[in-house]
Chains A and B, each alone.
Chain A
Amino acid sequence: MYAAVGGHGIVESIPDTRQLLAALALPNDDCLVLDPALVTPGIAQSIAASIAQFPRPVVAFSSVSTAALESSVILAQRTPARFVFRGTANERSLLERAVLLTPDAEFCAALLSRLDANLTLLPAAIRERLVAMFRTGDGPDSPDALSAAVSLPRRTMDRYIAEAGFVSTRRMVEATHLTSAYRAITRSRIPFTTIASLLGYKSHRTMDAQFTLLLDTTTGKLRSRPLRVAEAADVLAQRLTERKTRQRSSAPRNPPEEAKPSLTLIHGRPRPRHVRLKASGEPTTQP
């Protein structure tokens, strides 16, 4: 865990389930990293209930065992947990991405609520998969992988996506990458080159191009002058459904959210500067 976090966050350890549950019952959105093998299904239910009340990113890091999987199933169904199983040679890079690129729960909720009308037009398999990708920051990394995951031919899936009013499958997948990096950009000092590398971009510049396309701003500007969550969600939702907007442009409509400027600078709100992470199922305290 320490190696994966590197110098980009603080790891606090909670060795006791009682303390863990007590800490989870407080509003705090630090990332929770836990080993599902160490909690019973009953405790997993309690953890899920706490996270439903006080949303926060969750990373489940565990070996493959019956005990771990029993709790993992509960966490997967009831929390936005991202799962990393031990045993592969490159698991460290996977864990690094999981703990450093944790989706911002508030941003995801705002975005999904704006996309809800479009998402409901999708077949359940695609909809559930996309929602899971936004919530966990994990999942198929390309349109082809997404079509494989939902067991549909690529062309059929693209048609469903277009019919639901989205620009393209690729843009949806890129948006899940952006949302997974949003927290690291706005609430930590993780170098942009590191974030770009974790997202698979060749350079910071390539990542910036993607952010400009989807959010009308660069990562540098986003970090120095973060958008309000609602505004960021508005811009991204608009970028994901531009096709629909264009198609209906002749129709009279004037949704108040779209009338807002896409870039609003927020001043004076101090932002926490560290991603705070928890090991062994431990929540973190505020910086």
Chain B
Amino acid sequence: MTATSFLQHLATARSDAEFARTAAGFAILQIYDSVKTNGLSSFQRDTLRKIESDIAGIDAAPDVRTALEAMACALQFWESAGPVRVGRKATYTALIMYGQALGSEGEWAMAAKVFALAGMDTELDGETWLAAESRLMMGRAYRMCADWEMAQIAYRRASQLGREAGDLSIAFRAQIGEANLLWSRGNLQGARLRLTDIARQARRSCPSVVPRVTLALAGVANMSGEYEQAISLAFGILETLEEDDELKYQTLVDLASFLSDYGLPAVASAALRVVQKAAPERHVRRHATLNLFFLAAHHENAAAFEVLRAQLASERLTPRQQAQFALFTAQGCRRFARFAEARSAAQRAIELANRYEHFQLVFEAETELSDIMRAMENAPSEIPQRPERSRSNIVAVSDDVMPNPSATSIGWDSVPAEIREVAESLDFMAAQHGVGTSTAMSTAMSTVMSGAR
């Protein structure tokens, strides 16, 4: 199964670099399979050393390279250290790392297969905790591939194994994942009930998971159009996450989505700028930058648009992000009346989205191209206005950041005091990180302040 997935990917590789890094991963997995079955021979040891030295020259993201190097070195210790089996533990950890790295590069189909392999082998080897972790990740990977049934199977197993391993946080996270599947398929009410039940149980037996459940509940609220509640819930947990960088920045990215959906793109920008500046994980920073680019394109901030465009052009983007980047470029250029540039970007977005089979993006890019063509036929000042687009259906934005299209900004006068407090706090946070608020937001906020006086 894993081999088939890798071979398919190799057959459809679009560049030498992509082929080389997939081939390196495939080779490592083949050796892993052989070592697991037959033990480590001198031939395999030599091959691992050769691959280890080759990996250094491969054009791959740092996470992918680190994971492959970890696999190559851990396999050399496969049979070491008696009953504690350090080598096996290290190998399984490296395998999970590789799956995570593939996921962060947007290669979710391959990541799912790697997690499935890790899950099966760790379970067969009695490494319950690692098995639970693998199944949890596998659930997420299949969710990203929209394979809901496999995701559900993986999450259920992760929950069982998490309990067996004595790690309730994994068990609860798996249940949150399963609840996320419900709203992914449109069952918002079911998801809300399930998450509320999980929150009640988590408060009693695993308080560390409560922020994650709350964030998921905020996502459901946002999907249900209860933007203010979503913002309040997400902002409420931020203060409790000082020591958890991973979840803190995920929450900020999600909060930015909610604010954008609510109609406060300037405030969303402030949150995203903090993430862009301070998030320790590169892929999270990259997502924030892409979201900022979207906001600049849709809210006609030409200066920010150009700066972010230059930044993203030099980033290593996943195929999906490449298509999104081209689409947002087209959208921004159309709004700035640079139609020729917009058309070329839209065509590239269609080509990329088609190539990587991101059909929702194909549809969006084709709609954008038709808007551009109409705009070119009409006077440049008569840019067609499209109806409001559907909001993103992504709750955990950090899973796959999909910038949320927001048709219009709402006036500060109509923003309740509670949300204004959120905006002020985010403004303060942005100032602390040296990424001051945008002029638009400052103006809006000062208008509100003077209005209040």
Please report A residues at the B interface, Cβ cutoff 8 Å: 3, 63-66, 69, 72-73, 76-77, 81, 83, 85-90, 93-94, 97, 125, 128-129, 131-132, 136, 139-142, 145-150, 177, 193, 196-200, 202-203
Distance to closest chain B CB from A92 (angstroms):
8
Q: Is the CB of B170 within 8 A of A90?
A: yes
**Closest 7 A/B residue pairs (Cβ):** A200-B166, A149-B126, A76-B81, A148-B126, A64-B70, A87-B97, A85-B93
- Chain B residue at minimum C-beta to C-beta distance from A70: B77
- Apart from the given pairs A66-B76, A87-B67, A87-B96, 9 other A-B contacts in the complex at a CB distance below 8 Å: A64-B70, A65-B69, A72-B77, A76-B81, A89-B133, A97-B166, A140-B127, A145-B164, A200-B167
Can you offer 10 A-B residue contacts whose CB atoms are under 8 A? A3-B243, A66-B76, A69-B87, A73-B81, A86-B93, A87-B67, A128-B83, A141-B129, A148-B124, A149-B127
Distance to closest chain A CB from B279 (angstroms):
15
Q: Is the CB of B73 within 8 A of A199?
A: no
Q: Is the CB of A69 within 8 A of B83?
A: no
Q: Is the CB of B81 within 8 A of A77?
A: yes
Q: Is the CB of A146 within 8 A of B77?
A: no
- Judged by a CB distance under 8 angstroms, whether B86 is at the interface is yes
- Judged by a CB distance under 8 angstroms, whether B176 is at the interface is no
Q: Is the CB of B169 within 8 A of A90?
A: yes
Distance to closest chain B CB from A184 (angstroms):
13
- Judged by a CB distance under 8 angstroms, whether B322 is at the interface is no
Q: If the complex has contacts A93-B169, A142-B164, are A77 and B124 also in contact, measured as CB distance less than 8 A?
A: no
Name the one of A64, A129, A148, A150 contacting B90, with C-beta atoms under 8 angstroms: A64
Q: Please name all residues of chain B whose beta carbon is closer than 8 Å to the beta carbon of A142 when the two chains form the complex.
A: 128, 164
Q: Is the CB of B84 within 8 A of A76?
A: yes
Give Cα A140–Cα B76 distance, bound, in whole angstroms: 23
Distance to closest chain A CB from B154 (angstroms):
14
Dominant secondary structure of chain A at its interface with chain B? helix
Q: Is the CB of B86 within 8 A of A73?
A: yes
Q: Is the CB of B96 within 8 A of A88?
A: yes
* Interfacial residues of chain B within 223-265, with CB under 8 A of chain A in the complex: 243-244, 246
Name the one of A76, A94, A136, A149 contacting B167, with C-beta atoms under 8 angstroms: A94
Q: Please name all residues of chain A whose beta carbon is closer than 8 Å to the beta carbon of B69 when the two chains form the complex.
A: 65
Q: Is the CB of A65 within 8 A of B70?
A: yes
Distance to closest chain B CB from A51 (angstroms):
14
Q: Is the CB of A72 within 8 A of B167?
A: no
Against A, the Cβ 8 Å flags (1 = close, 0 = not) of B131-172 are 001001100000000000000000000000001111111100
Give Cα A66–Cα B136 distance, bound, in whole angstroms: 28
Q: Is the CB of B164 within 8 A of A89?
A: no
- Chain A residue at minimum C-beta to C-beta distance from B126: A149
Q: Is the CB of B82 within 8 A of A76?
A: yes
- Judged by a CB distance under 8 angstroms, whether B351 is at the interface is no
Please report B residues at the A interface, Cβ cutoff 8 Å: 67, 69-70, 73-74, 76-77, 80-84, 86-87, 89-90, 93-94, 96-97, 100, 123-130, 133, 136-137, 163-170, 173, 204-206, 208, 243-244, 246
Q: Is the CB of B166 within 8 A of A69?
A: no
- Chain A residue at minimum C-beta to C-beta distance from B73: A66
Q: Is the CB of A88 within 8 A of B93?
A: yes
Distance to closest chain A CB from B26 (angstroms):
20
Q: Please name all residues of chain B whose beta carbon is closer than 8 Å to the beta carbon of A73 when the two chains form the complex.
A: 77, 80-81, 86-87
Q: If the complex has contacts A69-B77, A90-B167, are A136 and B84 also in contact, measured as CB distance less than 8 A?
A: yes
Q: Is the CB of B82 within 8 A of A77?
A: yes
- Chain B residue at minimum C-beta to C-beta distance from A82: B84
Name the one of B89, B100, B208 contacting A89, with C-beta atoms under 8 angstroms: B100
Q: Please name all residues of chain A whose beta carbon is closer than 8 Å to the beta carbon of B74 when the two chains form the complex.
A: 64, 69
Q: Please name all residues of chain A whose beta carbon is closer than 8 Å to the beta carbon of B70 when the two chains form the complex.
A: 63-65, 87
Q: Is the CB of A141 within 8 A of B84?
A: no
Q: Is the CB of A149 within 8 A of B125?
A: yes
Q: If the complex has contacts A73-B86, A87-B96, are A65 and B73 also in contact, measured as CB distance less than 8 A?
A: yes
Q: Is the CB of A141 within 8 A of B81?
A: no
Q: If the complex has contacts A73-B80, A76-B84, are A94 and B93 also in contact, measured as CB distance less than 8 A?
A: no
Give Cα A142–Cα B167 distance, bound, in whole angstroms: 13
Distance to closest chain B CB from A167 (angstroms):
20
Give Cα A196–Cα B204 distance, bound, in whole angstroms: 11
- Chain B residue at minimum C-beta to C-beta distance from A63: B70
Q: Is the CB of A148 within 8 A of B168?
A: no
Q: Is the CB of B125 within 8 A of A64?
A: no
Q: Please name all residues of chain B whose beta carbon is closer than 8 Å to the beta carbon of A85 when the two chains form the complex.
A: 89-90, 93
Give Cα A191–Cα B204 distance, bound, in whole angstroms: 13
Q: If the complex has contacts A93-B169, A141-B129, A149-B126, are A64 and B94 also in contact, measured as CB distance less than 8 A?
A: yes
Distance to closest chain A CB from B135 (angstroms):
12
Q: Is the CB of A145 within 8 A of B169?
A: no
Q: If the complex has contacts A63-B70, A140-B128, are A90 and B133 also in contact, measured as CB distance less than 8 A?
A: yes
Distance to closest chain B CB from A8 (angstroms):
14
Distance to closest chain A CB from B163 (angstroms):
6
Give Cα A259–Cα B312 distance, bound, in whole angstroms: 76
Q: Please name all residues of chain B whose beta carbon is closer than 8 Å to the beta carbon of A72 when the two chains form the complex.
A: 77, 81, 86, 90
Q: Please name all residues of chain A whose beta carbon is closer than 8 Å to the beta carbon of B94 when the two chains form the complex.
A: 64, 87
Q: Please name all residues of chain B whose beta carbon is closer than 8 Å to the beta carbon of A86 when the two chains form the complex.
A: 93
Name the one of B125, B129, B208, B246 contacting A148, with C-beta atoms under 8 angstroms: B125
Q: Please name all residues of chain B whose beta carbon is closer than 8 Å to the beta carbon of A77 when the two chains form the complex.
A: 81-82, 84
Task: Name the residue among A136, A145, A197 with the largest chain B CB count within 10 angstroms.
Answer: A145
Q: Please name all residues of chain A whose beta carbon is closer than 8 Å to the beta carbon of B246 when the two chains form the complex.
A: 89
Give Cα A139–Cα B169 distance, bound, in whole angstroms: 18
Q: Please name all residues of chain B whose beta carbon is closer than 8 Å to the beta carbon of A63 when the two chains form the complex.
A: 70
Q: Is the CB of B93 within 8 A of A200?
A: no
Distance to closest chain B CB from A177 (angstroms):
7
- Chain A residue at minimum C-beta to C-beta distance from B173: A90
Q: If the complex has contacts A89-B133, A197-B205, A199-B166, are A129 and B83 also in contact, measured as CB distance less than 8 A?
A: yes
Q: Please name all residues of chain A whose beta carbon is closer than 8 Å to the beta carbon of B123 when the two chains form the complex.
A: 148
Give Cα A147–Cα B80 distance, bound, in whole angstroms: 20
